[in-house]
């Protein structure tokens, strides 16, 4: 059974940093693109970043470029999102998602972790 | 930036057919995908590559594509289908590999 479990969310002040983790199990982690998708309270889904199987390609939504970094450790079956210079508008539930072989769509999602940026 | 446009809401009675549209200039060249999200839950993929249905998704869910519009059709709507539905595709210019529509709230009357 595919399982994705996010952790690392919480309350952080504007300008602060946070690192999200996603523990994957039930599939060969190194064979799939992986993504982070967020959802602000009461709003729609917004793709944040994704990363290729070997980490050689990474893509970001414009609003987080230069502030967020996606990474993965295939030996630990783990996905990460380092978030720096956080802003109030980054407040959201962050989902970890497994993508298909080409990074086109997400076929499995975690339950999400809430990040709140507030003073 | 590239946008996918969905109606904010659709309402149908139980047993009727619901159609949710998604429009985008790149849709003739890029596949579309559909997700269902119920309150407090993570999204679930219900349609991929315009019209393919993942295993475990009921046959009443189907997808189609015509020009710059893709459509999610739910035949014989049930109360449990009440949810938010999001389309997703890619920006063919390559600047954004994943783009979501704004979402459509399906209400079962």
Measuring CA to CA, how many Å separate B24 from each of A107, B31, B63? 22, 11, 15
Contacts of B33 in chain A (CB under 8 A): 104-105
Distance, in angstroms, between B106 CA and closest chain A CA? 14
Q: A46 and B42 in contact by Cβ < 8 A?
A: no
pLDDT tens-digit map of B12-41: 999 999 999 999 998 998 999 999 999 999
Distance, in angstroms, between A40 CA and closest chain B CA? 12
Measuring CA to CA, how many Å separate A92 from each of A19, A95, B20, B46, B85? 14, 9, 26, 23, 19
pLDDT tens-digit map of B51-107: 999 999 999 999 999 999 999 999 999 999 999 999 999 876 665 678 999 999 999
Give the number of A-B residue pairs with CB atoms closer than 8 Å: 61
């Amino acid at each position: 059974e595919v399982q994705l479990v996010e952790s690392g969310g919480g309350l952080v002040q504007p300008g602060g940093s946070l690192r999200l983790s996603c523990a994957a199990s039930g599939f060969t982690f190194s064979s799939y693109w992986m993504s982070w998708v967020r959802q602000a309270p009461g709003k729609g889904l917004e793709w944040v970043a994704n990363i290729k199987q070997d980490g050689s390609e990474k893509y970001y939504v414009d609003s987080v470029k230069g502030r967020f970094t996606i990474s993965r450790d295939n030996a630990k079956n783990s996905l990460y999102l380092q978030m720096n210079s956080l802003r109030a508008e980054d407040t959201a539930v962050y989902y970890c998602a497994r993508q298909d072989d080409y990074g086109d769509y997400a076929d499995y999602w975690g339950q999400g972790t809430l990040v709140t940026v507030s003073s | 930036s590239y946008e996918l446009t969905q109606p904010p809401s659709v309402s149908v009675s139980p047993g009727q057919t619901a159609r949710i549209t998604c429009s985008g200039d790149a849709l003739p060249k890029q596949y579309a995908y559909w997700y269902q999200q119920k309150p407090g839950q993570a999204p679930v993929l219900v349609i991929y590559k315009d019209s393919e249905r993942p295993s475990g998704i009921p046959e009443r869910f189907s997808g189609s594509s015509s020009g710059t519009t893709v459509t999610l059709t739910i035949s014989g709507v049930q109360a449990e289908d009440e949810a938010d539905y999001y389309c997703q595709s890619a920006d063919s210019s390559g600047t954004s590999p994943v783009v979501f529509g704004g979402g459509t709230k399906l209400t079962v009357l």
